[in-house]
């Protein structure tokens, strides 16, 4: 199902059961997989969101890959406005009650990852499967569960 307003670029693959809820811009050569839900988001060129994902109120850079079951959460349980942390440990209050993540170009998000509201992920960074993350991850970093 695709609700407007929505812009979908060229050569995209929107698979069975995808739900694009509106206020979405999707670039060229993007895959939106089965049982994915996208709302209020900008998805740049050549992103892959292949199956069982939720992307809310977010921006995904080009060639970003979101593995199966990963969720980009956009709402705090207490309903308060969402804060974003910067590299300099500054905290910015967005004033918004719904804000997901900004993910840099070529980032890789593993299976079943949860990105909590206000997460910033630098370009070329990887988050391994099953991580729950909130905050700022610099470019060219790898984040995985401690073993």
Residue range 12-29, pLDDT digits in tens? 999 999 999 999 999 999
How is residue 98 annotated by DSSP?
B
pLDDT at 86: 83
Active-site annotation holder among 51, 63, 65, 73: 51
User: What does the mean pLDDT of the chain come to?
Assistant: 96
Residue 8 confidence (pLDDT) = 98
* CATH superfamily label, 6-143: Hexapeptide repeat proteins (2.160.10.10)
Cβ pair 57, 99 in contact under 8 A? yes
Round to whole Å and give the CA distance between 135 and 101: 9
Give catalytic status of residue 51 as yes or no: yes
Q: State pLDDT tens for residues 128-142.
A: 999 999 999 999 999
Edge to edge, the sheet with strand 13-14 lists: 13-14, 31-34, 48-51, 65-66, 108-109, 126-127, 142-143
């Amino acid at each position: 199902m695709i609700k407007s307003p929505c812009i979908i670029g060229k050569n995209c693959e929107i698979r069975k059961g995808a739900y694009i809820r509106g206020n979405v811009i999707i670039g060229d050569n993007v895959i939106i997989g089965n049982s994915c839900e996208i709302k209020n988001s900008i998805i740049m060129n050549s992103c892959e969101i292949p199956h069982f994902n939720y992307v809310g109120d977010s921006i995904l850079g080009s060639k970003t890959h979101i593995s199966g079951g990963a969720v980009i959460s956009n709402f705090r349980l207490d309903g308060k406005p969402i804060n974003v942390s910067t590299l300099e440990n500054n905290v910015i209050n967005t004033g918004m009650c719904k804000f997901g993540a900004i993910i840099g170009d070529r980032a890789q998000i593993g299976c079943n990852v949860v990105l909590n509201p206000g997460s910033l992920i630098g370009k070329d960074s990887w988050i391994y499967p099953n991580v729950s993350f909130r905050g700022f991850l610099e470019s060219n970093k790898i984040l995985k569960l401690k073993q």
